[in-house]
Each structure stands twice: as structure tokens, then as C-alpha cells.
Amino acid sequence: MPKLGMEPIRRRQLIDATVASIHRHGFAETTVSRICAEAGVSTGIVHHYFDGKDDLLAATMRSLLDDLRSSVAGRLTGVTDARRRIGAIIDGNFAADQFAPQAVAAWLAFWAQVPHSPALARLQRINARRLQSNLRHAFRQILPAATARSAAQGLGALIDGLWLQGALTPGGIGADTARGLASAYVDSLLDEGKPA
Amino acid sequence: MPKLGMEPIRRRQLIDATVASIHRHGFAETTVSRICAEAGVSTGIVHHYFDGKDDLLAATMRSLLDDLRSSVAGRLTGVTDARRRIGAIIDGNFAADQFAPQAVAAWLAFWAQVPHSPALARLQRINARRLQSNLRHAFRQILPAATARSAAQGLGALIDGLWLQGALTPGGIGADTARGLASAYVDSLLDEGKPA
Amino acid sequence: MPKLGMEPIRRRQLIDATVASIHRHGFAETTVSRICAEAGVSTGIVHHYFDGKDDLLAATMRSLLDDLRSSVAGRLTGVTDARRRIGAIIDGNFAADQFAPQAVAAWLAFWAQVPHSPALARLQRINARRLQSNLRHAFRQILPAATARSAAQGLGALIDGLWLQGALTPGGIGADTARGLASAYVDSLLDEGKPA
Amino acid sequence: MPKLGMEPIRRRQLIDATVASIHRHGFAETTVSRICAEAGVSTGIVHHYFDGKDDLLAATMRSLLDDLRSSVAGRLTGVTDARRRIGAIIDGNFAADQFAPQAVAAWLAFWAQVPHSPALARLQRINARRLQSNLRHAFRQILPAATARSAAQGLGALIDGLWLQGALTPGGIGADTARGLASAYVDSLLDEGKPA
DNA sequence: TATGAATGAGGATTCATTCAT
DNA sequence: AATGAATGAATCCTCATTCAT
């Protein structure tokens, strides 16, 4: 009898190696053999556990999205206050493992593929919608409906922009600064929204 | 008798074809032969006018940066009022040709290469510094020094984030909405900065 | 406790699956995993019962040859009349299971390998000699020695050619037509051989 | 300016190398690199002049078919007598270059692919129909309509069978013997067809 | 006995680059 | 100046075989 239950282990191993390879060598230089070298397995194994390289890449993006989703979801659980919920979303996006160079480099690479890969575009769309939906719900409780929508758009863009800075300027904006800027943005929106 | 003055024409032709190919096929599928097919020339010509594919790609990014730079510089000329200067920077970043799908797709592709290409990283660093420097100078005239720096960081991130949205969700945020969100962000920063 | 007597069962199972796979997917696409999938067993099992893929293929050809041999032998038993013996050989070659699409496709595939596989060449040679020997013996009893040899050659070639037609044009020549043409050929040989 | 008019030369070179490789190594072992090594060119060249390996294989079969066609057509030109026309067809099929080991090995290999390759099947069908049509026309002039059809089928099968013998038993039936057997078959058919 | 996970050599194909013309 | 034929290294993928369980 062969080893049982290897599938989830190997899949995780290969996905992690893919993220590591994108971080280390870049998306263009992330080849199947590099991924497998990183994982310490032979090249053929990719086709045991995935339909091929593209499938592994899609699975990797799914994994990143899932990590982000649960990072946010975990911080939202039990929080009812709208301002605190927004804070939880911000914190979830800038949590240590989300804002780590490895993760941000991988995100950037996937973003660049999105316009030309229907599979990745679909995943990206789902994620963007969830973030917007979460933010709008929260903003609606503390801002006039008209403002809530653009508040959500603005905060979404700011979060992405801060991630992008993280990816492009490694020593630049840190997680704390990023969180601070996002929080300040929210505060300013709420001040404006308040009656004078 | 060799045609004179072909160099700038051919270089421009190939750079434009590179942007078009990245937009149409994505960065990964942008091959030398596709670029040359797009430009209507033979594959060998790339090595007459560039040192090779990587050099052409770097030249293309340089061209994009230059367009952005002059789009901003043109709007800054003669403007002295700090708030207006910031507005000019925002407008320069979201001008029609800068926020066009072709341009944004190419930017996104280059951003993804930045962490793994010293040549592109250098270009990106120069651009980021210029933007930050412009913004800080302006903000310092209307905000306390302590706030000016993070105001510049925040606005820089927001601009990039809005570009990113433009690239990832084609039908999403338009140039006008983007400009509006960025402007509103600046206004809220100034309100906060004002004495009560 | 190991199951006893599995060997012949498994070998037969794998040989049948090999024929089926050659018929269904062609020789080039007949991989070990396809054979095993067809047989409903795991890929590793081939090496329990055969020395490897090539050995399984040789065993499969041996099995086909054996089927043909016994198809002919069965019809020859007890038949002494020369003309009838030739008829039995023809009937044996075009019996339902021999002229079935599965079998003919497999034969064709093996024929193509014969010039490049000593193992298969040996099997093919044995078979060809047996057929020729049978035919010559029979023809010698009813034809002058000089003619008997080429009669055997001609009939052997015609039989193979009719098989080939069966393989290449599925809806073309049926078993009955094939038998008829072969018989007519024999008859004409005998007429010629007769004194006027 | 690059070398002009290389296309027909290279295509011929690669087709010849394909036939040589099938003869030398067998169809299964005929890889792109072996073909190119045989032709003395690099592997990439195949994709300049053909759509890929399959396209080269189809072109090779087309070339073989064409050689056969013209070998027959050349011998038919100007011949009006039906019996002589049949003789010309036989001679065309067993001409030196058609019955050469290289050619016959390649034919055999292609026959084995026919049932699983629509492209090759189409070519094979065209060829088979032309042969049958030629033979039937000729036989109809010297045999009753009812017999002409099966005469054509029989002779077609015999020719293929003799080729097969040539491929399977290299030292076996030679071109002369093959031609003799086919001619004798035709003669016997005509004798039978004659009124007693 | 039987499994199927794992290997890695070898397959077809792509592509940046070179160079004779 | 410009071409595009030719190269061959590198890519992804397939598959016969091995082996721990």
C-alpha cells in the first residue's frame, strides 16, 4: 500500500514552493523545475497533484486569496461595531503574513496576469467583490448612503496601493505605517460625514 | 544608400508595439516575434536598435515613465499654489493617456517585474521618488511637517491603488471617479490639518 | 495469504486490455497506465506479471499468434483432402474473432513494430513459416512442385492483403468477401494447374 | 537578405530524413531530434517549415503517396489496352523505389497510424480509391461487370499483401517475384472470365 | 499480492538571438 | 538598413519503471 493522505501535504508543499519561487525568481522565471527544486521533489510530481503548471498557479492564487479571506474573517468574527469592523478589515489586510514580502510579491505577479487569464480574473473578481461588500456594509451604518460607496472604493484602492508600495519599495512603508494611513483615511471620512 | 534618421522612428515604433503587445497578449506572451509582427517589421530588427529584448522592455518602461513625468510636469508649470499643485499632480496621473487600458496594463506588467529586474527597479525608484518629492514639497506648505510626509505617502499609495483598480477591473473605477477620490482624500487631509 | 492461481488470470486480463487499448487508442497512445486503467488494476502490477511494457507487448502478440494458430489448427484437424485443408486455412484466418476490428488493429500495430523489434520479428517469422509450410504441403498434393511454392506465396500475400484492407477500411471488405476472394484465387490456381 | 527559396529544399530534406528515420529506428522511435539529426539540421527548424511533428509526418505520407501516384501515372500514360494498363499499375506499385525497404517500412508505419489519425486516414482513403478506380476501369473492359469489381478488390489486396511481405520479410519476396505473382493473378482472372 | 506515489529521462515545442545575404 | 533562416537551450509535459507500504 502506498503512503496515504499525501495529497494535501504535497499540494501545500508545491503551493508554498510556488510562492517562494515567485518571490525569489519572479513570475517569469518561475518554472516547473524551479518550483520542484524549491519543494525538494521531482518535476513529474506536479502532474500527479495538479493538471499542470497553470493549475498549480491558479491553486496558488486561490490559496493566497483564502489566506487573506480568513485573515480578515477571523478578525471580523463577533465584532459588530461598524468602525471596529472596518478596522478589522484593515488589520486583516496588513497582518504580518499578508504583508510579508513573499506574499506581496506573489500578489503583484498574479495581478499582472489577471487581465490575460480568465481563471485568475475570476478569482480576483470574487475577492474584490467580497472586500467591497464588507466595506460598504460597514460604511453604510456610519455614513450617508451616497458617501458609503465611494468610501468603500477609496479605502479599497488605498489598501491595494499600500500593498503595491510594499511590493515595489521593500524598505518603504511598513505594515504599521500602512495600517496607520488606512486608519487615518477612515477617520477623516467619518469626520467629514459627521454633522458639523 | 542607408535611410537616415530611421533610428528614432524605429525605436518609437518598436516601443509602441511592445506596449500594444503587452496590452493584447500579456507580458508573458509578449515575444520578440509578436512585437515585430505588431510593428510590421522582421524579428532581427530589434537587435539593430536595442541590445535585445530586455533592453527594449526597459526602454518601453522608460517611455511610459517619461510620458507620466511630462503629463505631470506640463500641468505643474506655472502653478505655485500648493493645493493646486497637488491637484495638477493628481490630474497628471489620471490624464486620459495615462489611465488608458493599454498604459495601465503595461504599468502593471512592469510593476510585477520590478522586484526582479535591477534595471526596472532603478527606473521605478526614480519615478517614485520624484512623485513623493513633488507631493511632500506641496504638502509642507499647507500642513505641519510631521503630517506632510504621511500625507504624501498616503496620496501616493491611493493614486497607485486607483491605477491598480483601473487595471484589474476594466469597467470599474473611471478616471473621473479616481480623480474625485484622490481629491477628496487631499481635502480631508487639509481639513484635519487645519486648526479647529 | 496470497491468492493462488492469480497469475494466468492477471496475465490474460492485461493482454486483453492491451489489445483493447491498441484498438481504442492506437499503438503510440497505448501506455502502461492506459492498459492498466482498461484492466482496472494499478500501474505497478505490470511488473509483477511481466518484465515490463515490452514484455507485455510481446506476450500480447504471442497471444494473437496463438489464437490464429489454434483457429487454423482446429479447422485442419481430421481434414485430409488438400483443397479442403487450404479452405480450412483460409477459414481459420478469416474466422470472426480473427477478422474482428480489435484483432486486426492489433495485428497491424505489431506488423509495424516487427522490422524494429527482434522479439516481435521472431514471432512473426515463426508464424509466417508455419502458414507457408501448411500451404505448400497442401498445394504440393494438387499442383506441380514448381507452382506449389508460388501458389503458397501468393495465397499468403493475398490473405495478409485482405487483412490489411480490413484494418484500413473498416466498412470495406467483410470476412465473407475476403474468404470468397481467397477461395476464388485458389480455384483459379487449381484450374491453371490442371492439364487442359 | 536571407537565403531565398530554401523552403522546398528544407521541406524535401526533412521529409526524406523522416522516411530514413522510420526505416532506421521505426515509427515509435522517430523523434523530432532524430529526424533533424538525420537531416543534419537543428531541432527548431521543423517548426519553421511545418506546423509541428504531426504535420511533418502527414507531409511525409503525402510525399510517399505522391511518389506512388506518379510512379503509376507515368506508366499509364499513353497505354490504352486494358491488360497493359493493369500491368502498368502493377509495375508502378513494384517499381524499384516503391518497393525499396525504406519506402515499404514507412508505408507500414503509416498504415498502422491510419486507424487513429484522421489526417492520415484521409490520405489513405484517397489513395485506395484511386487504385480501385483505376483497376475497375481497366477490368471492366475485359471482364463482365460483376467480376470486374471483385477482380479489382482482389488485385488491390494482393498488391498490398505483397508489399506487406516485403516489409515483414526483408529477404523474402523480391520485386520480380511480387510482380510475377500479381501478373499471374490477373491472367488467371482473365482466363476464368473468358468463355470456355 | 497489489497499490499508486515518486522519479527523472526523454518527448515536442518555443523563443531570443545570430548572421549570411 | 533590413530580412528571416537557422540555432539550440530551456520550457512544459509524459511515461516506463521503481519501491515503500
State which amino acid sits at residue D7.
E
Pick the range with the lowest mean pLDDT from A32-36, A89-93, B192-196, D40-44.
B192-196
- Reading the block at residue A73, the C-alpha cell is 474573517
Can you give the pLDDT at residue A98? 84
In which band, very low, low, confident or very high, does the pLDDT at A5 lie, cut at 50, 70 and 90? confident
Cβ B158 vs Cβ B181: under 8 Å: yes
Give residue C14's Cα distance to chain centre.
19
CA distance C144 to A141: 110
Cβ D184 to strand F below 7 Å: no
Can you give the pLDDT at residue A160? 95
Cβ of B29 under 8 Å from any chain A Cβ?
yes
Cβ D32 to strand F below 7 Å: no
Mean pLDDT of C182-192: 88
Read off the pTM: 0.91
Residue D193 has pLDDT above 60, yes or no: no
- Reading the block at residue C45, the C-alpha cell is 502490477
Tell me if residue A176 falls in helix, strand or coil. Answer: helix
Residue A162 has pLDDT above 50, yes or no: yes
CA distance D17 to D40: 9
CA distance D50 to D55: 6
Residue D97 has pLDDT above 90, yes or no: no
Cβ of B169 under 8 Å from any chain A Cβ?
yes
Can you give the pLDDT at residue B4? 62
Pick the range with the lowest mean pLDDT from A72-76, A123-127, A157-161, C1-5.
C1-5
Q: Which residues of B88-124 are buried (b: 16+ CB within 10 A; e: fewer)?
A: bbbbbbbbeebbeeebbbbbbbbbbbbbbbeebbebb
- Residue ranges of alpha helices (H) inside chain C are 6-25, 32-39, 46-49, 53-76, 82-93, 101-113, 118-142, 145-168, 175-193
Can you give the pLDDT at residue C196? 44
Q: Average pLDDT of chain A? A: 91
pLDDT truncated to tens, each residue of chain B (196 aa)? Answer: 455 678 889 999 999 999 999 999 999 999 999 999 999 999 999 999 999 999 999 999 999 999 999 999 999 999 999 999 999 999 999 998 888 888 989 999 999 999 888 888 999 999 999 999 999 999 999 999 889 999 999 999 999 999 999 888 877 888 999 999 999 999 988 876 554 4
Interface test with B, best of A24, A107, A158 (most B CBs within 10 A): A158
Cβ C133 vs Cβ C77: under 8 Å: no
Cβ of A162 under 8 Å from any chain B Cβ?
yes
* In chain D, residues 4 through 23 whose Cβ sits under 7 angstroms from any atom of nucleic acid strand F: 6, 10
Q: Average pLDDT of chain D? A: 91
Mean pLDDT of D95-119: 90
Percent of chain D with pLDDT over 90: 77
CA D37 – C1' F4 distance (Å)? Answer: 23
Q: Which bases of chain E are contacted by protein, using any atom under 7 A from a CB? A: 1-21
Among A158, A168, A180, beta carbon nearest to B111: A168
Can you give the pLDDT at residue C4? 63
CA distance C150 to D173: 10
Handedness of CA D2, D5, D9, D10 (dihedral sign): positive
Centre a 10 Å sphere on the Cβ of residue A97 and count the other Cβ atoms it contains: 10
State which amino acid sits at residue C64.
L
Among A29, A156, A188, beta carbon nearest to B116: A29
Instruction: Name the residue with the least CA to C1' distance from nucleotide E10.
Output: D31
Percent of chain A with pLDDT over 90: 75
- Reading the block at residue D187, the C-alpha cell is 491472367
DSSP state of D47: H
Can you give the pLDDT at residue C1? 42
Cβ C26 vs Cβ D114: under 8 Å: no
Residue A12 has pLDDT above 90, yes or no: yes
Cβ C33 to strand F below 7 Å: yes
CA distance D16 to D19: 5
| Chain B 43-62, residues with CB within 8 Å of chain A CB atoms | none
* In chain C, residues 36 through 75 whose Cβ sits under 7 angstroms from any atom of nucleic acid strand F: 43-44, 46-47, 52-54
In which band, very low, low, confident or very high, does the pLDDT at A194 lie, cut at 50, 70 and 90? low
Residue A196 has pLDDT above 50, yes or no: no
Cβ B43 vs Cβ B33: under 8 Å: yes
Q: Radius of gyration (Cα) for chain A, nearest Å?
A: 19
Mean pLDDT of D22-46: 95
In which band, very low, low, confident or very high, does the pLDDT at C194 lie, cut at 50, 70 and 90? low
Among C25, C112, C161, beta carbon nearest to D160: C161
- Reading the block at residue C142, the C-alpha cell is 494438387
CA angle A46, A48, A49 (to 5 degrees): 70
Cβ C2 to strand F below 7 Å: no
DSSP state of D114: G
Note whether B184 contacts A154, CB cutoff 8 Å: yes
Helices B118-140/B145-168 angle, 10° precision: 130
Cβ B42 to strand F below 7 Å: yes
Task: State which residue of chain A sits closest to B155, comparing Cα positions.
Answer: A158
Cβ D124 vs Cβ D110: under 8 Å: yes
CA distance B115 to D193: 87
Task: State which residue of chain B sits closest to A183, comparing Cα positions.
Answer: B154
Residue D195 has pLDDT above 60, yes or no: no
CA D39 – C1' F4 distance (Å)? Answer: 21
Over residues C88-121, the pLDDT tens digits come to: 999 999 998 888 888 999 999 999 999 988 889 9
- Reading the block at residue D77, the C-alpha cell is 500514360
Percent of chain C with pLDDT over 70: 95
Over residues C19-31, the pLDDT tens digits come to: 999 999 999 999 9
Interface test with D, best of C25, C102, C114, C116 (most D CBs within 10 A): C116
Tell me if residue B196 falls in helix, strand or coil. Answer: coil
Can you give the pLDDT at residue D196? 43
The residue count of chain C comes to 196
DSSP state of D28: T
Instruction: Name the residue with the least CA to C1' distance from nucleotide F3.
Output: D1
Q: Which nucleotide is nearest to D43 (CA to C1')?
A: F8
Report in angstroms the alpha-carbon separations of C131 from B127, C100, C125, C141, D185.
85, 20, 10, 16, 20
Cβ of C194 under 8 Å from any chain D Cβ?
no
Can you give the pLDDT at residue A176? 92
Chain C: give the shortest CA distance to residue D150, in Å.
Answer: 7
Contacts of C111 in chain D (CB under 8 A): 108, 112, 164, 167-168
C touches B, CB cut-off 8 Å, minimum 3 pairs: no
Cβ C191 vs Cβ D191: under 8 Å: yes
CA distance B192 to B87: 18
Q: Which bases of chain F are contacted by protein, using any atom under 7 A from a CB? A: 1-21
Cβ B33 to strand F below 7 Å: no
State which amino acid sits at residue D86.
I
Chain B: give the shortest CA distance to residue A168, in Å.
Answer: 6
Mean pLDDT of D133-160: 94
Q: Average pLDDT of chain C? A: 91
Can you give the pLDDT at residue B3? 58
Can you give the pLDDT at residue D6? 83
Cβ A131 vs Cβ A156: under 8 Å: yes
DSSP state of B150: H
CA distance D29 to D21: 8
Over residues B35-61, the pLDDT tens digits come to: 999 999 999 999 999 999 999 999 999
Report in angstroms the alpha-carbon separations of B111 from A111, A113, B96, B134, B159.
10, 12, 20, 21, 14
How many Cα neighbours within 13 Å face the side chain of D32?
13
Can you give the pLDDT at residue C96? 86
Note whether A112 contacts B115, CB cutoff 8 Å: no
Cβ of A165 under 8 Å from any chain B Cβ?
yes
CA distance B185 to B155: 7
Instruction: Name the residue with the least CA to C1' distance from nucleotide F4.
Output: D2
Can you give the pLDDT at residue A193? 55
- Reading the block at residue C179, the C-alpha cell is 474468404
Can you give the pLDDT at residue B1? 44
Among A25, A112, A173, beta carbon nearest to B153: A173
Q: Of D190 and C91, which is predicted with more confidence?
A: C91
Over residues B132-152, the pLDDT tens digits come to: 999 999 999 999 988 999 999
